Structure 1
Amino acid sequence: MERQTYYVNVNPTSMEDISPTKVDDGELIEYEIEANEAEYKDLQNLLLEVQAHDMELGDLFTFKHYNDEEIDRDRNEFQRGLEDVYRMIYKLGTPETKRQIESLGLNL
């Protein structure tokens, strides 16, 4: 399958953004990747899952936020998802993207 260049935005409020066009915004962190159609779809689905978990509507209307164990479990699950996102971006990333992610000091 043919690879194309994409730019991935990992902003928590719009994490699903994968664009074939680089956005020229100094405040936006984008990672350049090269992916085929299947890899693109896999990353898109992963981004949507992580963002959906972070913004679960059900949590807004419960008392789960008063339960420390539930909060810790939720944070850990979100963190694992975010690490999966960075791991996949690293795998598909250009050499510059790999350097950027390595500089974050994540344990991937």
Structure 2
Amino acid sequence: MKKKYYIQLNPISMDFISDVKIEDGSAGYQYEVEADEEEITELQDMLTIAQAHDSDERNLLSFRHFDDQSADHDRMEYREELNAIFQKMYELGTPPTRKAIEEIHALEEE
């Protein structure tokens, strides 16, 4: 059975999914999706991986950021993760969510 979930994407807590919409505006934009338990678990896993990659200590506490090739590879991996997240949110999204994703051109062109 599908139910509504709200996803907040920001650099601090990208992996935040709630079944309650935060109405006070403190959460920023929340993407609304309709998903069953398996679909929301898959999306949660994708968000957790992207969040972990973005805050990976290897990227923060090393000289890797001086290595352009490693930095480019890290950015490409992170971008691919985000593309997959936006694609999944689009597939599961309500009409306002799909429109918002289209408006920010978050889906990778074929």
Sort the TM-score into its range (normalised by shorter chain).
over 0.9
Cα shift at 1:107: 3.6
2:99 is equivalent to residue 94 of structure 1 = no
| Superposition TM-score, scaled by structure 2 size | 0.91
2:84 is equivalent to residue 54 of structure 1 = no
**What do the CA deviations read for 1:44-91 (whole angstroms, capped 9, x no partner)?**
000000010000012223211110111111111111101111110000
| Superposition TM-score, scaled by structure 1 size | 0.93
**What do the CA deviations read for 1:12-63 (whole angstroms, capped 9, x no partner)?**
2101111011112166011000000000100000000001000001222321
What is the distance in 2 between the residues matched to 1:8 and 1:106?
Answer: 15
Tell me the residue number matched to 2:9.
Answer: 10
Tell me the residue number matched to 2:20.
Answer: 21
Task: In structure 2, list runs of 5 or more residues that go unmatched.
Answer: none
What is the distance in 2 between the residues matched to 1:85 and 1:105?
Answer: 13
Task: In structure 1, list runs of 5 or more residues that go unmatched.
Answer: none
Residue 13 of structure 1 aligns to a residue whose secondary structure is: coil
2:83 is equivalent to residue 83 of structure 1 = yes
Letter in 2 for 1:8: I
User: Does the C-alpha gap of structure 1 residues 73 and 57 become closer, same or farther in structure 2, counting only changes over 3 Å?
Assistant: same
What is the distance in 2 between the residues matched to 1:22 and 1:79?
Answer: 27
How much identity, in percent, do the aligned residues show?
36
Runs of 4+ in 1 over 3 A off after TM superposition: none
What is the distance in 1 between the residues matched to 2:19 and 2:60?
Answer: 34
